[in-house]
Amino acid sequence: MKAKAAVVGLGFVGRAHVDALRRLGVTICGGLGSSPKTTASACAAVGLARAYASLEEIAADASVEVVHLCTPNFLHFQEAGQLLRAGKHVLCEKPLTLDSRESELLVALAKETQRVGGVAYNLRYYPLCQEARALIEKGAIGRPNLVHGSFLQDWLLYESDWNWRLDPKLGGSLRAVSDIGTHWLDLVTWITGRRVTDLCADLATVIPVRQRPRGRVETFQKADPSDVEQVSITTEDYASVLFHLEGDVRGVMTVSQVSAGRKARLWFEIDGSEGSLAWNSEEPNTLWIGRRNAPSQELPKDPGLMSEATRRYAAYPGGHPEGYPDTFVQLFRDFYVYVEAGDQQAARSFPTFASGHEQMALCEAIEKSAQERTWVSLGSE
Amino acid sequence: MKAKAAVVGLGFVGRAHVDALRRLGVTICGGLGSSPKTTASACAAVGLARAYASLEEIAADASVEVVHLCTPNFLHFQEAGQLLRAGKHVLCEKPLTLDSRESELLVALAKETQRVGGVAYNLRYYPLCQEARALIEKGAIGRPNLVHGSFLQDWLLYESDWNWRLDPKLGGSLRAVSDIGTHWLDLVTWITGRRVTDLCADLATVIPVRQRPRGRVETFQKADPSDVEQVSITTEDYASVLFHLEGDVRGVMTVSQVSAGRKARLWFEIDGSEGSLAWNSEEPNTLWIGRRNAPSQELPKDPGLMSEATRRYAAYPGGHPEGYPDTFVQLFRDFYVYVEAGDQQAARSFPTFASGHEQMALCEAIEKSAQERTWVSLGSE
Amino acid sequence: MKAKAAVVGLGFVGRAHVDALRRLGVTICGGLGSSPKTTASACAAVGLARAYASLEEIAADASVEVVHLCTPNFLHFQEAGQLLRAGKHVLCEKPLTLDSRESELLVALAKETQRVGGVAYNLRYYPLCQEARALIEKGAIGRPNLVHGSFLQDWLLYESDWNWRLDPKLGGSLRAVSDIGTHWLDLVTWITGRRVTDLCADLATVIPVRQRPRGRVETFQKADPSDVEQVSITTEDYASVLFHLEGDVRGVMTVSQVSAGRKARLWFEIDGSEGSLAWNSEEPNTLWIGRRNAPSQELPKDPGLMSEATRRYAAYPGGHPEGYPDTFVQLFRDFYVYVEAGDQQAARSFPTFASGHEQMALCEAIEKSAQERTWVSLGSE
Amino acid sequence: MKAKAAVVGLGFVGRAHVDALRRLGVTICGGLGSSPKTTASACAAVGLARAYASLEEIAADASVEVVHLCTPNFLHFQEAGQLLRAGKHVLCEKPLTLDSRESELLVALAKETQRVGGVAYNLRYYPLCQEARALIEKGAIGRPNLVHGSFLQDWLLYESDWNWRLDPKLGGSLRAVSDIGTHWLDLVTWITGRRVTDLCADLATVIPVRQRPRGRVETFQKADPSDVEQVSITTEDYASVLFHLEGDVRGVMTVSQVSAGRKARLWFEIDGSEGSLAWNSEEPNTLWIGRRNAPSQELPKDPGLMSEATRRYAAYPGGHPEGYPDTFVQLFRDFYVYVEAGDQQAARSFPTFASGHEQMALCEAIEKSAQERTWVSLGSE
């Protein structure tokens, strides 16, 4: 890859971006952390040559073509806007913004500036998720009728668990839905090629008061228990959402960050008129294909057994498991190939700002539905 | 066991009752099929000595103390009433009746006649379902917060699949919910010891027209495809239900009879403040216990590892799988021991007519919620 | 079934025989325990009408046609001989005898007396083991090339674990091989239809000294720890056996009674030129069919998906798990149907005394191989 | 990492090395393919700046400190020797050489030249394999008693499958044992910390004649079927090996390259006096811990649940699967950290030339045992 990158935000997922960019041979000009002081040490720890002093400095660095935004949600809108205007392509972590007004503006701005916007819905890039989409497209399970599943975690099970996402000012007014629910919804709507038309949601804050450490806590890390304050929590630990997709496909999704033993388990099942697909992100190298009048099948992540269009997303032969870090490589390759081709009219295989905006609209509908205890229709777009 | 039995309805599940009664050493006085002609051959096939000519004949047979009703749903109310009045104890297949008015009357009649009524929610009697209840009672997963899962089948996937349950006159105005959804709801409300307080349901008839064979079709069997008529279907192939349990436990259930590759897979997960439980009826001999700060556990159906109160429900040592037929043995033992003890004031460990009535009320709330696209509260009882 | 039975030995497995006989509608005339005193209580516990005083009494009871021997191994030879001479058909628990001289004599005696002898290698009667045999017969995996697997238990893991099988006078000079290894070998040689021609074995007594309780201990039960004596153990806790089957099929088996967490897990894999089969007794309702150029398959225990010849061994529809107790029902049905047909020339679908003798010859070859640390050829028969 | 690298051999595994080196930030000076022509295109495909013309050129390039050998087995000895003498550290793919005479010479040469030699037994670097070793060291399963398992593949199932490893001149006189068996043996002897003392092996060439394409075939790729010649095969498709480890631990290993549906499945179980461990490379993110008197456990690849000494080998939080490519990163980090520290007396945590030599000695013992049909003792070293 020839386009050069910078990475903003060097926490857990920022480092995943750096790792994937290196594997693609993308030159990373430098990084920016949450403060000048942390930037220097974070860049050193990750091995980045240059520690930028500010976003402005990145915006002004002519060698940088793509900027990866791995910062807390509340910063995405401002940062992405600034960078687009400075002529950078932007690959932003999810959720794209705090609300759909912001995400709509970003979609428009990217169009106006002729820059490419992507959102890191990386789970699409598990090879067998690509294959699931291809199988449905070719009719392998007939007409999709039902979609159901969940995304469960346990890292916020205890009231002593803390992360910036718990603060609505930093993460937004939704949490589990926005952080993992949009992953699930993006994935299954993309696999089935159908948008949500109606939904009805139930949200719950299972742990109403938590202990906030006064110091900073890394995602998935533990805080110092001795220096905490009690904080009322307004965002949801749990959500279940009934929904309809275009073409009267029915579905339901459950997300939780308080399910003990589920570390980060996204599972979906899609039931069609001729067969079913089921997949689970904690064992991502097998896709279950359910059959009625024949034995069900286990499709391994084996390029030799995958569709011609998707086997390129499997970097290794069957029996050689690929995982979470590999999804970023595949996503970024699609993105950079597109950027380098330079044709903004070409179809985009990666999740775009429009994908990110679609999720923001869903989040708002979910929030409204839960508040009003009623079904909500998504506007036609 | 000393109480003697008769079995009404000798189809798939009637034969399961006969099998279990024999294992308990219960004397079966005879059976009654759907017509005099089929009764004779069905009794012969199953090895029952006496083929009754009518329900009246059973009601009049003084040697019979317990009657098992394994007939289509629409007959339960009339048959159970007649038998209770004749002084018989009644163990009825689920759902207990076609609506909650009927089930309420049966609850009252059983009380009035001082006869014992049971409903065959046999899934409670998988040894590890008993254990799940015991674990929650003893606080092994803390406070239950979330309940989610599904009951999926594929035997009605094709429009050429037919069964009497598809006819609302025989099976009632709900189908998937009533046939398998009530199994799921009965199971998780019994395990958690909490009743549903509110719910919001989405139902779908995925296959709106089916081919009805003019001849009779046994449950789980295939019809002769050459002699069929097109029939509009009004009952649901699919349902998802958001619900709240007492104590603000949140939950969601999905049922489907059109999920290819899922033969009869009931799965639940219960997430508590200190751990989780997950279980699946197609692999019933393992209970998963999820943990946050320790490895999760696989509890085998091993009397040596089960609670003192539940190990008696495991008839064989660990590593010796038990299955569907064994659940009826355990249920019937509880029922017959109770009947023989003769103390109607004693607590009942088996699913009662009140349990059956509770499910009928839930069915009606689900139907109302789906029709009106709104949340419905269950009345306090 | 019309033939009447008696059951000798009313421990763990004797009760499994009684249970299965009842399900078949076989009249059980009575039972015999290990002593007159225990007989009475054991018969009462199991609900058998008559407690025999001695084997002679059974031999003399003209109403008894079939006797089930569920006694410790060392008694089988004498008891089976006495009963055959008294004109009884004999269904004996495995292993058939203590050595191949005895088993050869029993084969000859059954032939001479024109009585039917069976051995309770019940694992053959898991429906999907029947199906595995049928699939190989019809060439579904091509030519079998490799057979491998294990039978692992943990009930003798601790030196405080005791059972009569640990005493070579009661159980024979082999233990793990004889008790569970012969199950495995019987199963895979029956499924592949090929006999062992050569083998090389390694045995180990992992726990060389155990604590024997002075009182009696039931199989799979725990002893009173306060009243024990130290005993040197000469029989093996572990064995692995390299072997060749007819037609140069290669194989290896591992058995152990000291593998923590494995309650009674028999697992085999058979690799053929076009596909593979794998099955595991702790999850018996799925058969894995491995493929190279297609996704592998999960065949459920579903009569609708099984071969025409084997679906009768599945008593319930797909999704309704069957287990260990059900295997005895299927085995006994085959046996009793044969007995009642009365044609001793007809082919026998169940494991016979010849099957039992074949296993005794294998046991002796295994013992010899391990002692001499060399390959041993099985004589042609 | 500061040490600079070159990679020799740019096939399947060579590209895996390049990928991992990039993730570590190691500068790769250039690569060398199997011929000048293929080198240029392979380097371009992988994105390496410099295409070396010969090994001599690499040996002479002073900027290169570490050379990765990813060439066919028969070249390792000569290449490694030349590079060590030129002052390079060498990280060689397995097996280290064609025989133990060669591997012994390399061990000596590395010592003499004071260069660091490593062998790419990368499976040790699955985080949960590191954890398995740590658990055994800390006594979590008591004394190891039994070790069993297999490494199964299906890529050579058909006689039309070809790869250079089938030619003994290129791959050596053993194939399945050398290619995958040594992975298994290296892994379990390293995890248990015990060497093999005795063994008895059975080998089989299941497919005695294969079709060799006249063109080149990449590992795991398919050949052009129209341009082939019939070739007699002398190397084994299958092996099973009984063995003893130091301290009288008993074991057995099965390897096969003709097991349909098993893509590359290494599985081991280690049974100790207090617990068991089981792991399988196709689902590498869970370690099963078997218990007798408690439920068995599923340990996820979760740094928060792993031992303090091993959690650094898990790069991502629990629920974020890692896979085959990640193992090379972890192995190379250990190797490069050692090289850069510059202390040749320090203990080596990675697989060394001595590890590679140990496997060659095992291969020879296995070959001898199979030929002579007898147990073989490994000399004390």
Buried b (16+ CB within 10 A) or exposed e, D74-87: bbbbebbbbbbebe
Inter-CA distances, B144 with A154, A253, B188, B292, D52, Å? 14, 20, 11, 15, 64
- Amino acid A381: pLDDT: 44
Supply the DSSP string of B330-346, one letter for each residue: HHHHHHHHHHHH--TTS
Query: Which of residues 246 through 305 in chain C touch A, CB cutoff 8 A?
Result: 289, 293-300, 304-305
Q: Quote the CA–CA distance of B238 and A273 in Å, as a whole number.
A: 13
d(CA D314, CA D298): 16
Please tell me chain A's helix, strand, coil percentages from 3-state DSSP, rounded to the nearest 5.
Answer: 35, 25, 40
- Is residue B98 pLDDT above 60, yes or no? yes
Least confident range of A32-46, A231-245, C191-205: A32-46
Quick: pLDDT tens for C318-327: 999 999 999 9
User: Residue A69 has what pLDDT?
Assistant: 98
**Which pLDDT tens digit goes with each residue over A149-191?**
999 999 999 999 999 999 999 989 999 999 999 999 999 999 9
| Confidence (pLDDT) at B339 | 97
Spell out where C87-227 has E strands: 89-92, 117-119, 144-153, 196-204, 209-213
Q: How many CB atoms lie within 10 A of CB D343?
A: 7
| B330-333 long-range Cβ contacts below 8 angstroms, 24+ apart | B330/B125, B330/B127, B331/B20, B331/B118, B331/B120, B331/B121, B331/B122, B331/B124, B331/B125, B332/B17, B332/B20, B332/B21, B332/B24, B332/B26, B332/B91, B333/B1, B333/B24
A196-223 confidence digits (pLDDT tens): 999 999 999 999 999 998 876 666 666 6
Name A148's bridge partners.
Answer: A252, A269
**C-alpha to C-alpha distance for B39 and B51, rounded to whole angstroms:** 6
pLDDT at A254: 98
Burial A138-174 (b: 16+ CB within 10 A, else e): eebbeebbbbbbbbbbbbbbbbebbbbbbbbeebbbb
Nearest CA in chain C to A295: C299
Percent of chain B at pLDDT > 70 equals: 97
Alpha helix (H) ranges present in D61-176?
A: 73-85, 100-113, 127-137, 168-171, 176
pLDDT digits (tens, 9 = 90+) for B153-198: 999 999 999 999 999 999 899 999 999 999 999 999 999 999 999 9
Task: Report the distance separating Cα A242 and Cα A239, nearest Å.
Answer: 10
Across the beta sheet with B5-8, the strand order is B28-32, B5-8, B66-69, B89-92, B117-119
pLDDT at D34: 85
Stretch (H or E) spanning A86: none
Distance from D331 to chain C by nearest Cα, in Å? 31
pLDDT of residue B37: 83
Rounded mean pLDDT, B261-274 = 98
Unique residue bearing structure tokens 């009322």: A232
Q: Which amino acid is at A108?
A: A
Are A297 and C296 a contacting pair at CB < 8 A? yes
Tokens of residue B114, six digits: 């001082």
CB burial of residue D34 (10 Å; 0-12, 13-18, 19+): middle
Q: What is the mean pLDDT of chain D?
A: 95
Question: Touching check for C316 and chain D: CB below 8 Å?
Answer: no
Query: At what angle are helices C324-341 and C12-24 packed, to 10 degrees?
Result: 60
Question: What is the DSSP pairing of strand B5-8 with strand B66-69?
Answer: parallel
Answer whether D53's CB lies under 8 Å from D33's CB.
no
Residues with Cβ within 8 Å of residue A366, at least 6 apart in sequence: A174, A177, A181, A199, A201, A203, A239, A241, A376
DSSP output for A123-159 = GGGSHHHHHHHHHHHTTTT-SEEEEEEEEEE-TT-ST
Residues whose CB falls within 8 Å of the CB of residue A345, separated by 6 or more in sequence, listed in order: none
Q: Which chains touch A (3 or more CB pairs under 8 A)?
A: B, C, D
Inter-residue contact A239 to A281 (CB < 8 Å): no
Cα angle: A128, vertex A130, A135; to 5 degrees: 85
ipTM of the complex: 0.95
- Tell the residue number behind the tokens 């250039």, with chain if given: D30
Query: Cβ separation of A305 and C296 shorter than 8 Å?
Result: no
Among partner residues B285, B315, B324, which is closest to C316 by beta-carbon distance? B324
Q: Which of A167, A168, A264, A157 lies closest to A213 in space, CA to CA?
A: A167
Select from B161, B220, B281, B330 the residue whose CB has the most chain C CBs within 10 Å, as the one to mutate to test that interface. Answer: B220
Residue A287 backbone dihedrals phi, psi, to 5 degrees? -115, 125
Q: Which of A12, A262, A282 sits opposite D321 (nearest CB)?
A: A282
Measured CA to CA, the distance from residue B299 to residue D85 in angstroms comes to: 58
Shortest Cα distance, chain B CAs vs residue A190, angstroms: 21
Contact D297 B300 (CB under 8 A): no
Strand partners, A204: A238
Interface contact flag, A293 C299, Cβ < 8 Å? no
Cβ contact A269–B259 (<8 Å): yes
Mutate which of A135, A288, A298, A299 to test chain C, going by most C C-beta atoms within 10 A?
A298
**Which positions in chain B touch C315 (Cβ < 8 Å)?**
325
- Min Cα distance B221 → chain A (Å) is 13
Cβ <8 Å between D295 and B294: no
Over residues D315-332, the mean pLDDT reads 98
Q: pLDDT digit string (tens) for A117-147?
A: 999 999 999 999 999 999 999 999 999 999 9
Share of residues in chain A with pLDDT > 70 (%): 97
> Best interface-test mutation with C: which of D206, D221, D293, D366 has the largest number of C CBs within 10 A?
D206
Asked if residue A285 has pLDDT above 50, the reply is yes
- C289 and A305 in contact by Cβ < 8 A? no
Phi, then psi, of B306 in degrees rounded to 5: -90, 170
Q: Write the pLDDT tens digit of every residue in D108-141.
A: 999 999 999 999 999 999 999 999 999 999 999 9
Residue D230 CA neighbour count, 13 Å, CB half: 3
Strand-strand pairing, D196-204 and D238-245: antiparallel
Over residues A308-337, the pLDDT tens digits come to: 999 999 999 999 999 999 999 999 999 999
Going by pLDDT thresholds of 50, 70 and 90, the confidence category of residue D35 is confident
pLDDT mean across residues, chain B? 95
Q: B379 and B362 in contact (C-beta within 8 Å)?
A: no
Distance CA B145, CA B135 (A): 15
Identity of the residue in B25, B263, B316 whose CB atom sits nearest the CB atom of C325: B316
CA distance D113 to D353: 13
Instruction: Establish if C319 touches chain A: CB-CB under 8 angstroms.
Output: no
**pLDDT at residue D216, rounded to an integer:** 67
**What is the pLDDT, as a whole number, of residue D381?**
44
- Going from the first residue of chain C to its last (381 residues), give the mean pLDDT of each consecutive group of 10, the final group possibly shorter: 92 95 96 89 92 96 98 96 98 96 98 97 98 98 98 97 93 95 98 98 98 77 79 97 97 98 98 98 98 98 97 97 98 97 93 97 98 91 43
Residue D112 near chain B (CB below 8 Å): no
Q: Which of D267, D307, D264, D40 is nearest to D148 (CA)?
A: D267
